[in-house]
Amino acid sequence: QVQLQESGPGLVKPSQTLFLTCTVSGGSISSGDYYWSWIRQAPGMGLEWIGYIHYIGSTFYNPSLKSRVTISVDTSKNQFSLTLRSVTAADTAVYSCARQMGHGGSRYFDSWGQGILVTVSS
């Protein structure tokens, strides 16, 4: 049973960079069958998919965040990371990492982390 765990600072100042890491256990991030995603939920809002990475390094981002987002992978540590630049209060949210199916057109999320609250405030 694969497990995902987010880590990183819970408070980021406006205009700075948010950096979060997701550690995968119980399975290899180097499995070609999956993509590794970040999703967020702002207070009172629905879930928003941020983007995904494949272990070989290919990425795909939500156009709404593409200019500020980078997702990277470290296969040696079985981790992947989220970098979000120039944050504002609107980026305050619970950030979750998830495993996304990669076969055919199926892109649903079969495993999730619990999420980490990141607040953007001075």
Partner 1 sequence: EIVLTQSPGTLSLSPGERATLSCRASQSVSSSYLAWYQHKRGQAPRLLIYGASSRATGIPDRFSGSGSGTDFTLTISRLEPEDFAVYCCQQYGSSPYTFGQGTKLEIK
Binding site for partner 1 (CB under 8 A): 4, 45-49, 60, 62-64, 96, 98, 101, 105-115
Token reading at 5 = 């765990």
Between 16 and 31, name the residue whose CB sits nearer to partner 1: 31
Provide the minimum distance between the beta carbon of 62 and partner 1 in the complex, in angstroms, as a whole number: 4
CB contact at 8 A, 24 and 113: no
DSSP tag of 27: S
Please report how close the Cβ of residue 114 comes to partner 1 at its closest, in angstroms.
5
Which is nearer to partner 1, 51 or 79 (by Cβ)? 51
- CB-nearer residue toward partner 1: 105 or 122: 105
Shortest CB 84 distance to partner 1, Å: 16
Comparing CB distances to partner 1, the nearer of 25 and 64 is 64
Q: Where are the beta strands (DSSP E) in 8-46?
A: 11-12, 18-25, 34-41
Q: Least separation, in Å, of the C-beta of 8 and partner 1?
A: 17
Question: Do 79 and 29 touch, CB atoms closer than 8 A?
Answer: yes
- Could you give the CA distance from residue 95 to residue 40 in angstroms, rounded to a whole number? 4
